[in-house]
A and B are shown apart, each in its own frame.
Chain A
């Protein structure tokens, strides 16, 4: 079955964004056919003419033809690689260009809401706060796209700073409180009083925690709970996020950590979302030396968990 699927040339051409005759499998197939054909022809030729010259000439013709087909295979591979590179370059450039106006909005809004908020009416403040939230959402989207481009190019940079995971988790839960309240979701936390510090990237670890918690909250249908558990053990810190949300269908569980993945039932409940969060989160956790998994039953709920190693050098 797998072999047949792999040999679906039309599908391959579509996936790669090239025409059928440019698809590497097709060209390979063509080359194979041609070699068989030529061997048969040469066989017959050598039957009729018993002269080495004819054989040498026909062999040369064959080599030339095989060479040119091989050449077009390489060409089409090159084109695919080039298009791919252009795509990620485009994402990088576009996101950087978007970052300048985003930085401006970021700081101007903060000025408006901190040092200059006296004189604003309640209504005006509310509007400014809404704009602030939109700005944050957009900054997040741009960052996600940039992160994906960086992960794909293998150059995602993570800060190395001391991180207090409890502080991050508290802040993230706080940020998700309004969302949870409006969706009738109860968030509960079980955590130790103190955790050793770990070394990592504060902002990005917060992104990981936020992805898990906000996903859990978002994909609860009507009313439900999100349970967060943090514990230390074995030189690691484990974080569990369990919900009784819509869950992920069995047949889609393999692609949960792929980029742009959104499960069928998730799309039905929540139209928003890029499907980048978990892909990025898993990559961040792994780059920090940890791991991320999940378990999910459709209609019952999901639990996601990850661990990050405790760097002993810091906690002496």
Chain B
């Protein structure tokens, strides 16, 4: 059912290469197409160029942090409707709330979530 649809493009903005690769591999196996960025600047650039269907966004990133990326994406007319799921290990009220205030759709905690749950959350947000 899912494979017959057009593949959904997921942009992963995560500077940890191990996590980045693990996410890519799992999501590809789940039938998604992935794009990757290892810092915030690259993330915004790819996001604006390729218009992914969804963005997974780390908070602590080189060059531009997750909050700045959020602001950049949400202030651009062409990217502001792309749902953004925060990847975090912080899980403290302030950080998460700040990101949700800036327009992030939801968040997940890397050390606690299984890849399967990440994929489930993505599907939930994309309604598939």
Contacts and interface: CB of A to CB of B under 8 A. Distances in A.
Q: Note whether A and B form a binding pair.
A: yes
Interface of A: 96, 99-100, 102-104, 106-108, 110-111, 114-115, 139, 142-143, 150, 155, 157, 203
Interface residues of B, number: 20
Contact of B111 (A106, A110, A115, A150): A106
Given A106-B114, A110-B116, 14 more contacts: A96-B90, A100-B16, A100-B89, A103-B16, A104-B22, A107-B26, A110-B26, A114-B115, A114-B116, A115-B25, A139-B112, A142-B111, A150-B92, A157-B96
A139 B115 contact: no
Nearest to B89: A99
A107 B26 CA distance: 9
B112 A143 contact: yes
A157 B19 CA distance: 25
Contacts of A203: 112
A102 B22 contact: no
29 contacts: A96-B89, A99-B89, A100-B89, A102-B111, A103-B110, A103-B111, A104-B19, A104-B22, A106-B110, A106-B111, A107-B22, A107-B110, A107-B114, A108-B18, A110-B22, A110-B26, A110-B114, A110-B116, A111-B115, A114-B26, A114-B116, A115-B25, A115-B26, A115-B29, A139-B111, A143-B112, A150-B92, A155-B92, A203-B112
A104 B115 contact: no
A155 B90 CA distance: 12
Give the dominant DSSP class at A's interface.
helix
Contacts, number: 58
Contacts of A115: 25-26, 29
Interface of B: 16, 18-19, 22-23, 25-26, 29, 89-93, 96, 110-112, 114-116
Contacts of B115: 107, 110-111, 114
Give me the 5 closest cross-chain CB pairs, A-B, nearest first: A103-B110, A107-B22, A157-B93, A99-B89, A103-B111
